[in-house]
């Protein structure tokens, strides 16, 4: 079976205040069927055995749905494979002898906590500003009582695929959160349940996004190219439209 020997250049930073630096490690005998995170697990065992501090990285589901496994691999958020999270990226996409650079998401609104782990609570605050709907609690309503066209349902569902990972911010030259906000705003604006707060939602979420210090959108499309859920910049178009519409309506 094929095995890999790699050189890893990884960002190490002890705490939010620590300056941080790149450190180089060598790992050998890696199985090509491993995921990228499993490869890091191997490195960490190696580090623990040699009494060194293991590399801190975020992960949870390891199946591409939680959005935790943030890291920039050779300049690409979640690595070189399209529409894939780091946990779903396999080592067969790398070559024996490669040097791989691994960095945390870089954005002032995502401060580094430790090594590759960043604080993404700025996203939570944007959601709190408007990413919700008001419904009466109690028994669930009959699904068929609220007809929704197939196209609309699909468009909303495609937006709802956003896992809030922040790769869009990491990829953008302006560290803009437009794609994330666009996905969340569109998903709710498209569906009948989202209509009650439709106008306030977009205004509040956009102003929260500005307050949190994310940059503006230059329409480079880098976010769409790096988004593991392949959220389209068409939703940013929609966000812009919703934003102008709500403000002009007053």
Partner 1 sequence: MNSYFNSTLFRKTLAGASGLFLVVFLIGHLVGNLQLFIPGDAGQKQFNEYALFMTTNPAVKLLSIITYTCIILHILTTIILVRQSSKARDVQYLHKSGNANSTWASKNMAILGTLVLVFIVIHLRSFWYEMHFGAIGLDSWGNKDLHTVTVTAFKELWYVLFYVCSMGVLGVHLKHGVESVFQTLGVKTRRYFSLIHNTAFGFALIIPTAFACIPIYIYVTQL
Which does residue 12 touch among partner 1, ligand FES, ligand HEM, none (CB within 5 to 8 A, set by kind)?
none
Which does residue 203 touch among ligand FES, partner 1, ligand HEM, none (CB within 5 to 8 A, set by kind)?
partner 1
Q: Does 60 bind ligand FES (CB under 6 A)?
A: yes
Strands 99-103, 3-12: pairing kind: parallel
The residues near 157 (Cβ < 8 Å, ≥ 6 apart) are none
Q: How far is the CB of 240 from ligand HEM (least distance, A)?
A: 9
The footprint of ligand SF4 on residues 230-249 (CB under 6 A) is 231
The residues near 154 (Cβ < 8 Å, ≥ 6 apart) are none
Q: How far is the CB of 168 from ligand SF4 (least distance, A)?
A: 3
CB atoms under 10 Å from CB of 27, counted, come to 17
Q: Does 219 bind partner 1 (CB under 8 A)?
A: yes
The interface region with ligand FES, picked from 53-61, 122-130, 145-153, 196-204 by CB under 6 A, is 53-61
Residue of 27, 42, 65, 160 interacting with ligand FES (CB under 6 A): 65
Helix (H) or strand (E) holding 112: strand 112-114
Q: Does 218 bind ligand HEM (CB under 6 A)?
A: yes
Residues touching ligand FES, count (CB under 6 A): 13
Residue closest to 71 by CA, chosen among 54, 83, 59, 53: 59
The footprint of ligand SF4 on residues 23-82 (CB under 6 A) is none
CB atoms under 10 Å from CB of 76, counted, come to 17
Q: Residues 43-62 vs partner 1: string with x where CB under 8 A?
A: --------------------
CA-to-CA distance for 3 and 91, rounded, in angstroms?
A: 9
Residue of 27, 47, 56, 66 interacting with ligand FES (CB under 6 A): 66
Q: Which long-range contacts (CB under 8 A, 24 or more apart) does 193-201 make?
A: 193/133, 193/135, 193/146, 194/133, 196/133, 196/134, 197/130, 197/132, 197/133, 197/134, 198/242, 198/246, 199/245, 199/246, 199/249, 200/130, 200/246, 201/130, 201/131
Q: What share of the chain is helix, strand, coil (3-state, %, to 5)?
A: 40, 15, 45
DSSP code at position 90: B
Residue of 58, 115, 158, 226 interacting with partner 1 (CB under 8 A): 226
Q: Considering beta carbons, is residue 13 or 88 the nearer one to partner 1?
A: 13
Which does residue 85 touch among ligand FES, partner 1, ligand SF4, none (CB within 5 to 8 A, set by kind)?
ligand FES
Point out which residues bind ligand FES (CB under 6 A): 59-62, 64-69, 85-87
Point out which residues bind ligand SF4 (CB under 6 A): 162-168, 179-180, 183, 227-229, 231
């Amino acid at each position: 079976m094929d095995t890999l020997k790699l050189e890893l250049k990884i960002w190490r930073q002890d705490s939010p205040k620590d300056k941080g630096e790149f450190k180089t490690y060598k790992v050998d005998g890696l199985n090509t069927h491993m995921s990228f995170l499993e490869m890091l697990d191997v490195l960490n065992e190696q580090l623990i055995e040699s009494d060194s501090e293991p590399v801190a990285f975020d992960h949870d589901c390891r199946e591409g749905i939680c959005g935790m496994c943030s890291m920039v691999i050779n300049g690409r958020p979640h690595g070189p494979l399209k529409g894939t999270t780091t946990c779903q990226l396999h080592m067969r996409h790398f070559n024996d002898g490669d040097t791989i650079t691994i960095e945390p998401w870089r954005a002032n609104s995502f401060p580094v906590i430790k090594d590759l782990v960043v604080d993404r609570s700025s996203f939570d605050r944007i959601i709190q500003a408007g990413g919700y709907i008001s419904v009466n609690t109690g028994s669930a309503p009959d699904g068929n009582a609220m007809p929704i066209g197939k196209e609309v349902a699909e468009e909303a569902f495609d937006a709802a695929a956003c896992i809030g990972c922040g790769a869009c911010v990491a990829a953008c030259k302006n560290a803009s959160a437009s794609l994330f906000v666009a996905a969340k705003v569109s998903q709710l604006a498209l569906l009948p349940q989202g209509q009650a707060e439709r106008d306030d939602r977009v205004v509040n979420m956009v102003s929260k996004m500005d307050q949190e210090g994310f940059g503006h959108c230059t329409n480079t499309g880098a976010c769409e190219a790096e988004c593991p859920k392949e959220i389209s910049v068409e939703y940013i178009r929609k966000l812009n439209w919703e934003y102008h519409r709500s403000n002009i309506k007053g």
